[in-house]
Amino acid sequence: MVQDTYNRPLQDLRISVTDRCNFRCGYCMPAEIFGEAYQFLPNKQLLSFEEITRVAKIMVGLGVRKLRLTGGEPLIRQEIEKLVAMLAEIDQVDDFALTTNAYFLPQKAQALADAGLKRVTVSLDSLDDDIFRAMNGNKAGVEPVLKGLKAAEKAGLTPIKINAVVKRGVNDHTLVDMARFCKDNGYILRFIEFMDVGTRNGWSMEHVVPAQEIIEQIDAVMPLERTKQNYFGEVAYRYQYRDGGGELGVIASVTKPFCGSCTRLRLSPEGQLYTCLFAKKGTDLREPLRAGASDDELKDFITGMWSKRTDRYSEQRTEASANDDDRIEMYYIGG
């Protein structure tokens, strides 16, 4: 098992397959910045499916047991199901999932399941159409996402998780409706505190709804009780409904940082490795990949990088650090 300077093991690889997305969510890709003229990565710079699969195999050999495909919107990557099929053949992976806005799931869900994907996590910040449109840059209403959820269910990509970013004054008054919807439909809901990822989402602490406040709001209507973690490094504080009707969780990176148990490594679309969602720079893996490095050399390269890891951003966050202007963007590296 590979460990960093704080004895955190490498267990989770998040693979961003594209920096492009069809939505323009304000906390990730605000429309006023990411307009029609914005220059995304050219396709020739992206890692090939073969390169991604090779890296994933090496990572599994180092202890990774969870693979997550992200973006941008990963379903924009052409023939993504081919990559899924290649990754699904890797032994010793306990959890293989994809995070999506679900817009393209009606066309893709069955092919993804047939290729070997196990489950999906869907981003849905509100069931109110006007609020949802306001949060995604008016790119889609709720209905296409609901159709995507049904397609995922039909294809067996379950259990389905729902991620909802909570922003004060925007969607914080709709949380009970979201919780009830997920409870009634058997989805696992994860409320996420609005985070200062990147530099372009206008983050301020006044926009953050603390996890404790979220739980109190739901508990007042649908009583909850805290439950234990599923595994070391799980980022959500988990709760179950006292009537036995499922669970929800809160991801509290701002008010209750979990850096001490972070086991995640992120691979960018063009082959940069990042040891923190709030990192300022990555480590280039594409160059040695394409320069002929052997698997053992790449293994030593990754081990050396992880063993030097010292990231504790959320534990050290200040108002000043939250406004640094050189951190990576969420659309580029995923959540």
CB atoms within 10 A of CB 98: 26
Q: How many domains does the chain have?
A: 1
What confidence score (pLDDT) does residue 281 get? 86
pTM for the whole structure: 0.93
What confidence score (pLDDT) does residue 321 get? 57
In a domain, 161, yes or no: yes
Summarize the confidence of residues 134-151 as an average pLDDT.
95
Summarize the confidence of residues 174-181 as an average pLDDT.
97
CB atoms within 10 A of CB 50: 11
Pick the more confident residue, 98 or 245. Answer: 98
Please tell me what DSSP assigns to residue 279: -
47-56, 150-159, 310-319: the lowest-pLDDT one: 310-319
In a domain, 62, yes or no: yes
Answer whether the bond into residue 72 is a cis peptide, omega within 30°. Answer: yes
- Integer-rounded Cα Rg, in Å, for the chain is 19
In a domain, 2, yes or no: no
What confidence score (pLDDT) does residue 200 get? 61
In a domain, 104, yes or no: yes
For 316, the enclosing helix (H) or strand (E) is helix 313-316
The answer on pLDDT for 153 being more than 60 is yes
Give the range of the structural domain holding residue 301, as residue numbers without chain letter: 12-333
In a domain, 6, yes or no: no
Over residues 76-96, the pLDDT tens digits come to 999 999 999 999 999 999 999
Q: How many DSSP H helices and E strands does the chain contain?
A: 11, 12
pLDDT band at residue 234 under the 50/70/90 scheme? confident
Q: Which tokens is 122 given? A: 């869907």
In a domain, 74, yes or no: yes
63-67, 135-139, 236-240: the lowest-pLDDT one: 135-139
CATH number for the domain including 185? 3.20.20.70
In a domain, 148, yes or no: yes
Across 217-290, the runs of DSSP E, i.e. the strands, are 224-226, 237-241, 247-251, 264-267, 272-274, 283-284
In a domain, 276, yes or no: yes
Chain-centroid distance, C-alpha 89: 22
What confidence score (pLDDT) does residue 118 get? 97
Over residues 279-326, the pLDDT tens digits come to 888 999 999 999 999 999 999 999 999 999 998 877 776 555 555 666
